[in-house]
């Protein structure tokens, strides 16, 4: 296992709001976030605006791209009369392409009536407007519950579902779907979280695991999560590589396969990347750090030397995929908010990311520098589309991204039962090369500077 020691301080996504008596400077990293969440909540309910700002600044330090914390800082600075700091944070959010309906927020009343407020407000309103040249490729009806994973091979599209553990296939451009594999035909199948095709070897790799929403029977052998290798032709099971069993808290959520057949798998519950070089060795721990929060998309670079990892709260990281000891936080410009990423893909020297953890929800294209360790240009290519209802994962086919525009996670209970009628989920097709591009940053910054000089 390779540990990266210079990650920014970070914690698990969900932590209890417990009062912490000791001085915050002496708190271990694992208690920083709950401590400051507790302090912020207490100060807010006591109308202690100064203390609320202080606690929120600490939260922003821990989660610099959390949109809620940034919004709270604008509100808090406005309430305490620090309008310069409020506008600075508002500008940062605008430069990152975030959208907020500021006119509906009472706390920013002291900022209103200025040209600067009106200019930033209008730009952030514009950022929340729908754009992007997307093609409606298919519609999934309510009988396809909790679609999550996509893979494509020639004219076939594979689709995996979480609640029923089904793998469906369509070879007619999404007009109809048939059952390719299910727990009835492959008992090792549980909820399906990712699919990857290895066409050269005739494999369909499946990340599968048991969560409360999966409604299939529990496995007698107690396996909680595993990597399956199915025949790309028949859907029959070729091999299984279990990750955990019994009470083990593990869930393989995303996969990446190198040209030589090496498989990388991200564990979303225990923040760990596993690697499998051959069948005899199985899944082996490759890279992890206790400060990771929730690992989502994986993407291998052009020569399979770099592996890109999306951490939902902390952004994108890069690790040496050749067995070396190096790892990096992807260098990004101030105009990029790289939190809230689910799907992550590599295309022609770019990363393509599906972000559902910010407003507006969007698909963004990131141009990488020559060494692949930093982003040199940011271009949202679709945002706030009416079809978007927590877009999740997809698959690249040349320059075309096929992706699920919606998710059922927020429409079902913990047992996978619909809270109401389930919405249809659109599957969209997006040309990441020819789509209308909106570059983030420089033009708006220059206009803002002109506004400030004339204020």
- Residue of 87, 22, 102, 128 whose CA lies nearest to 438: 128
Report percent pLDDT > 70 for the chain: 88
Phi first, then psi, for residue 200 (nearest 5°) are -60, -35
Q: What is the pLDDT of residues 393-444, one digit of tens each?
A: 999 999 999 999 999 999 999 999 999 899 999 999 999 997 455 555 545 4
As a dihedral over the C-alpha atoms of residue 409, residue 413, residue 419, residue 425, rounded to 10 degrees, the angle is 20
DSSP classification of residue 387: T
Alpha carbon 97 to chain centroid, angstroms: 17
Calpha distance 151→70 (Å, rounded): 36
Calpha distance 43→22 (Å, rounded): 17
Calpha distance 108→96 (Å, rounded): 20
Calpha distance 326→320 (Å, rounded): 6
| Sequence-distant (≥ 6) Cβ neighbours of residue 5 within 8 angstroms | none
What is the biggest distance separating any 2 CA atoms in the chain, rounded to whole angstroms? 72
Q: Average pLDDT of 10-32?
A: 48
What pLDDT band is residue 351 in, cutting at 50, 70 and 90?
very high
pLDDT (0 to 100) of residue 441: 52
| 3-class SS of residue 68 | helix
pLDDT (0 to 100) of residue 450: 57
Residues 18-51 as b/e (b if ≥16 CB within 10 A, e otherwise) read eeeeeeeeeeeeebbbbbbbbbbeebbeeeebeb
Q: What is the pLDDT of residues 73-100, one digit of tens each?
A: 999 999 999 999 999 999 999 999 999 9
pLDDT (0 to 100) of residue 438: 54
Cis-peptide into 360, omega within 30 deg:
yes
Q: What is the pLDDT of residues 163-206, one digit of tens each?
A: 999 999 998 888 899 999 999 999 999 999 999 999 999 999 99
Query: Which parts of 99-257 fold into alpha helices (H)?
Result: 115-127
Average pLDDT, the chain: 89
pLDDT (0 to 100) of residue 279: 86
Residue 417 CB neighbour total at 10 angstroms: 11
Distances (CA, A) of 241 to 255, 259, 447: 13, 20, 56
């Amino acid at each position: 296992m390779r540990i990266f020691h210079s990650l920014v301080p970070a914690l698990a996504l969900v932590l209890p709001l417990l009062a912490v008596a000791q001085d915050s400077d002496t708190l271990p990293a694992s208690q920083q976030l709950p401590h400051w969440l507790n302090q912020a909540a207490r100060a807010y309910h006591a109308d202690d605006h100064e203390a609320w700002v202080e606690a929120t600044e600490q939260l922003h330090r821990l989660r610099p791209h959390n949109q809620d914390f940034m919004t709270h800082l604008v509100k808090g600075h406005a309430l305490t009369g620090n309008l310069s700091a409020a506008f600075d944070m508002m500008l940062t959010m605008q430069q990152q392409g975030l959208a907020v309906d500021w006119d509906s927020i009472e706390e920013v009343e002291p900022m209103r009536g200025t040209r600067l407020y009106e200019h930033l407000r209008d730009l952030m309103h514009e950022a929340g407007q729908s754009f992007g040249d997307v093609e409606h490729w298919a519609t999934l009806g309510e009988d396809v519950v909790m679609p999550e994973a996509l893979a494509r091979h020639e004219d076939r599209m594979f689709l995996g579902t979480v609640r029923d553990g089904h793998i469906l296939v369509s070879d007619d451009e999404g007009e109809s779907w048939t059952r390719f594999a299910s727990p009835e035909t492959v008992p090792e199948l549980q909820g399906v979280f990712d699919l990857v095709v290895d066409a050269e070897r005739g494999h369909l790799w499946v990340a599968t695991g048991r969560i409360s929403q999966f409604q299939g029977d529990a496995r007698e052998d107690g396996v909680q999560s595993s990597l399956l290798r199915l025949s790309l032709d028949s859907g029959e099971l070729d091999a299984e590589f279990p990750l955990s069993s019994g009470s083990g808290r593990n869930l393989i959520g995303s996969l990446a396969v190198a040209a030589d057949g090496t498989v990388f798998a991200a564990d979303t519950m225990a923040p760990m990347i596993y690697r499998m070089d051959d069948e005899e060795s199985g899944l082996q721990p490759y890279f992890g750090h206790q400060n990771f929060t929730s690992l989502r998309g994986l993407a291998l670079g052009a020569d399979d030397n770099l592996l890109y990892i999306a951490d939902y709260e902390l952004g994108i990281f890069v690790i040496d995929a050749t067995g070396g000891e190096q790892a990096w936080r992807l260098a990004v410009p101030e105009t990029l908010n790289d939190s809230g990423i689910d799907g992550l893909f590599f295309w022609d020297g770019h990363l393509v990311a599906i972000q559902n953890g910010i407003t507006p929800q969007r698909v963004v294209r990131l141009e990488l520098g020559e060494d692949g360790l930093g982003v040199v240009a940011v271009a949202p290519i679709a945002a706030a589309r009416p079809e978007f209802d927590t877009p999740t994962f997809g698959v690249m086919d040349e320059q075309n991204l096929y992706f699920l525009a919606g998710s059922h996670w927020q429409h079902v209970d913990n047992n996978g039962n619909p809270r109401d009628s389930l919405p249809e989920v659109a599957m969209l097709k997006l040309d990441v090369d020819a789509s209308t591009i909106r570059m983030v940053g420089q033009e708006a910054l220059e206009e803002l500077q002109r506004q400030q000089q004339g204020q």
